[in-house]
Structure 1
């Protein structure tokens, strides 16, 4: 449940509250003001101090973070760092007092100074007591065997959505729908450097939503927050992560795995509740190859500006019969990614995916059916994918993002292959109109398209995807996002009617 944020090493599925990797970054670096708690890469809505940090940013504008975008809330800070955090908040508070009472005169300020001097001894005593408590806490931490904690959180996503057009490729007969997607999650730690996450989910947007035959009949119209469990609660994620030293984290996720569970998507909109509206624009479809469900991975902070990630997953990973299991599976993918930060405001990632599918399918469910099935041959194939991602914070509240992907399917038992491409450009403007926590975004791209190959039929034309939304922050826990996306030449076929999907998404987090 990560938030759209500027360039950094962590997004929705990256190391969350207990993140030993982030703790190994340089300690003595100047602090920088951030406009929103969403810009912090290691702070998430589940964190116990999330509300307090959000108020510091939204109400007082005095939230500071390290240049790499981390807050490092579990780290002991220096007195200088505490003073640097406190000073802008005091300035903001003084400004708000002046606005509320008209003006604070010099006499009033002198009275405040006299009070500070008068109670200097008491303040010194309190400071000494705090030092003693800090020393005792450090001793307890040094002698503890384990530190366990469990937190509970969740979100309820309500959508009122409608679609028009798309007849063909579908029948074009769809009605507005009111649907929901609810997630409940517990996060536990046993040592302070590990994390066990269990998630239950329930959804009711049935029959692929607007992607069914009677509506627009294309995966290009799928929403990012749609789910269908028939209103039955299902186990959607089970994950355990732990640190090996200070720079390596291992991940095991037997339920709810995808390559982006380990490989950072590097997308500002990779969040079903607060990110983009469509499935296609959430992340590079290359990371969705294989429709996996179980897997593992490694995340290694090679240097302060270099991160290497490795992920392996399968479908039907719980099945010990031939064609299932963790190895020898009919559907599997191995991915590697190198993340680089060439400048403080830029993060770029380069990834390679090597997969196998006994029917030669990509199964990203974001582009044309022809592309997703690699020309519909239905035979075993090796799949190779290359992804490039970039986030660039142009200004404090303006973020440019882009990604591109190429997927090549090489059929094993016949002389055939298929090449599929995709790309996206985005621009996000945070805190527009002076409203802290709001986000306006526009996105433009091409869903996966089969552009060339041997023994397969290429997509005839080109579909383009246009999307825009505005996220209103109503309170610390509630946001409402109206928006739409528009698809030209659905299924990369100019004979098909264009598609328009509009939605109002409401998200309540607790």
Structure 2
């Protein structure tokens, strides 16, 4: 264990000289004068170890430590923040030759070398310390002198210094005894942790959610993509009525039953150098949100349904273990970090918000991120983060889409020769975050998406649906039931969170997307689909208990501005759906959080004639 002491007053520096010149009594008076100012001045630097997310942390601390909903990094000390051993008093920038303690400090540094400056090469001798802090510094010098004596270099220590040390040991005997007892206890605890840890290089966290979900509507719900009423039931898919050319509209009459589901994540975080991390997440689950029964084709698992209430590794069967995320992160300079991997989740890197986290904030699928601007659940590629200043952070990345929605191409994207790293659906993302203070963040995200069209089905069979975005907000064709060529889209998102006081904050988003439609049939003209989405919310950190968070989110997830003729589902009758989500995250204890959510969906599926859908989810979250 490596323990270094930052000395925060010149009292430590002059202890030998002061005792030799003025005696114990005068020096003790000077020390007592500094005792009661309660300035903390001791820092202990331990070996870097991965740390886990602590749900019991205060919200302000947690929001700064964890930008995303799952811990995704090992927290290690910044090399710039390590204590700097001083070998010459000239290395301390705030010590001048004219200072009254210069000679004493110079003597102590050069003779015994038991002074460690602050990371910025300052000494801060005007700060006061307590008797315990003074004893810690004294103990460091005692250890150094013991090393000199043990090495047979007794002639290097003067008899006057030894006499002064003896008096200091007597004066601070009680503090030294307590300090050494604490160090012994800390060493014992460190040894126990090292013996019991999962790995010397890897940290294992487990995140699991138990979800009880129920939903009901005030009447029958109209949805696009359902079988024509009275026809033979078939699997739900988006299609047009062959007689009228209009999208098929069905009616949901049965109320879904209440469900009890789970989602579980195993998070392995490894560090080999202290500054790099290998992040591996395995996941399983069996959720199938009851609210999805009311959704139009392409809107499954929406209506503010929490992310945890779904199977995270679709299309694998329920309760199957699958790869959720895998990437390697490393710095290339003090301010630039690179993440590269075969499976990166962009929603954990871009468009994050301190109040819309699926871990403890407004976490419904219509709340925690832009509903129209992120075109992939996961991808293979790289992301570069550049900390331009304390206020500015720039992120940019390229990801080849490889999530479950594109399984009809024959498997994972970048590893599939028919698609590869650059031949299939992909996205380029760039986001600038401006943080004028710790309490406010403004984010500007642009993404360019390339969407590979599904293969054309054999004659006489329905074509595969072309989902518009990663969350499948609608399904498109050429306007007459025909197939499309590959599509490109431009997406813009403005995202902000603002902590006005310790107990109140605001958050919101505006998103705009434009997709170009190119029919396979050259006789049919293409066009554009333009969409926008809104979100505004109120946040109440530490509501009722430190670490709790209450949120109220209002959102318009999918408003069509143009190109309605290309929508097979999503347009409805021209109405605009909007959602309300009320979520309260309450830490029951350090590792268990209870999160009830109440949501209401108005004009569901963009049908203004639809009654309101109400839902409630009670989630118990375990994080170890």
User: What TM-score results when the alignment is normalised by the length of structure 2?
Assistant: 0.59
Residue of structure 1 in register with 2:437 after alignment: 343
Residue of structure 1 in register with 2:349 after alignment: 262
The one of 266, 269, 274 equivalent to 1:184 is: 266
Where in structure 2 are the equivalents of 1:46-125 lying within 5 Å?
120-124=172-176
Cα gap change, 1:249 to 1:388, in 2 (>3 Å): same
- Structure 1 contact 465–488 (Cα < 8 Å) conserved: yes
Cα gap change, 1:454 to 1:488, in 2 (>3 Å): closer
Confirm whether residue 432 of structure 1 aligns to residue 543 of structure 2. Answer: yes
Structure-1 separation of matches of 2:383 and 2:376: 16
Where in structure 2 are the equivalents of 1:441-460 lying within 5 Å?
441-453=551-563, 456=566, 460=574
Residue of structure 2 in register with 1:278 after alignment: 364
The one of 470, 480, 491 equivalent to 1:385 is: 491
Cα gap change, 1:264 to 1:123, in 2 (>3 Å): farther
Residue of structure 2 in register with 1:11 after alignment: 67
Cα gap change, 1:79 to 1:168, in 2 (>3 Å): farther
Secondary structure of 2:420 counterpart: coil
Secondary structure of 1:285 counterpart: coil
Task: Report the CA distance between 1:176 and its aligned residue.
Answer: 0.4
Residue of structure 2 in register with 1:149 after alignment: 201
Residue of structure 2 in register with 1:490 after alignment: 604
Structure-1 separation of matches of 2:564 and 2:297: 29
Task: Report the CA distance between 1:354 and its aligned residue.
Answer: 0.4
Residue of structure 2 in register with 1:239 after alignment: 327
Residue of structure 2 in register with 1:139 after alignment: none
More strand by share: 1
The one of 444, 449, 464 equivalent to 2:578 is: 464
Residue of structure 1 in register with 2:216 after alignment: 164
Cα gap change, 1:269 to 1:198, in 2 (>3 Å): same
Task: Report the CA distance between 1:172 and its aligned residue.
Answer: 4.2
Secondary structure of 1:283 counterpart: coil
The one of 579, 588, 599 equivalent to 1:474 is: 588
Cα gap change, 1:492 to 1:118, in 2 (>3 Å): farther
Task: Report the CA distance between 1:400 and its aligned residue.
Answer: 0.8
- Structure 1 contact 186–198 (Cα < 8 Å) conserved: yes
Task: Report the CA distance between 1:408 and its aligned residue.
Answer: 0.6
Structure-2 separation of matches of 1:264 and 1:14: 15
Q: Deviations over 1:124-156 (max 9, x none)?
A: 57769999xx9xxxxxxxxxxxx9621111122
Residue of structure 1 in register with 2:189 after alignment: none
- Structure 1 contact 153–509 (Cα < 8 Å) conserved: yes
Identify unmatched segments of 5+ residues in structure 2.
1-51, 84-118, 134-168, 187-198, 224-250, 312-316, 403-411, 454-465, 520-524
Secondary structure of 2:619 counterpart: strand
Structure-1 separation of matches of 2:605 and 2:282: 34
Identify unmatched segments of 5+ residues in structure 1.
28-74, 88-116, 135-146
Cα gap change, 1:336 to 1:496, in 2 (>3 Å): same
Structure-1 separation of matches of 2:478 and 2:337: 35
Secondary structure of 1:270 counterpart: coil
Structure-2 separation of matches of 1:354 and 1:479: 37
Task: Report the CA distance between 1:275 and its aligned residue.
Answer: 2.8
Residue of structure 1 in register with 2:457 after alignment: none
- Structure 1 contact 161–176 (Cα < 8 Å) conserved: yes
> What is the RMSD computed on CA atoms of the aligned residues?
4.0
User: What TM-score results when the alignment is normalised by the length of structure 1?
Assistant: 0.71
Aligned residues: 414
The one of 320, 340, 352 equivalent to 1:252 is: 340
Secondary structure of 2:347 counterpart: helix
The one of 233, 250, 275 equivalent to 1:193 is: 275
Structure-1 separation of matches of 2:621 and 2:120: 34
The one of 504, 507, 510 equivalent to 1:398 is: 504
Structure-1 separation of matches of 2:542 and 2:484: 48
Residue of structure 2 in register with 1:507 after alignment: 621
Secondary structure of 1:168 counterpart: strand
- Structure 2 contact 400–413 (Cα < 8 Å) conserved: no
Task: Report the CA distance between 1:342 and its aligned residue.
Answer: 2.2
Secondary structure of 1:491 counterpart: helix
Structure 1 residue runs of 4 or more that deviate by more than 4 Å after TM superposition: 1-10, 13-17, 19-25, 75-84, 124-131, 213-217, 317-323, 372-377
Structure-1 separation of matches of 2:172 and 2:477: 74
Instruction: Return the index of the structure with the highest Cα Rg.
Output: 2
Structure-1 separation of matches of 2:538 and 2:80: 31
Residue of structure 2 in register with 1:315 after alignment: 401
Confirm whether residue 299 of structure 1 aligns to residue 410 of structure 2. Answer: no
Task: Report the CA distance between 1:242 and its aligned residue.
Answer: 0.8
Cα gap change, 1:280 to 1:187, in 2 (>3 Å): same
Structure-2 separation of matches of 1:234 and 1:358: 24
Structure-2 separation of matches of 1:300 and 1:19: 18
Secondary structure of 2:252 counterpart: coil
Task: Report the CA distance between 1:182 and its aligned residue.
Answer: 1.0
Task: Report the CA distance between 1:8 and its aligned residue.
Answer: 5.5
Structure-1 separation of matches of 2:440 and 2:64: 8
Secondary structure of 1:450 counterpart: strand
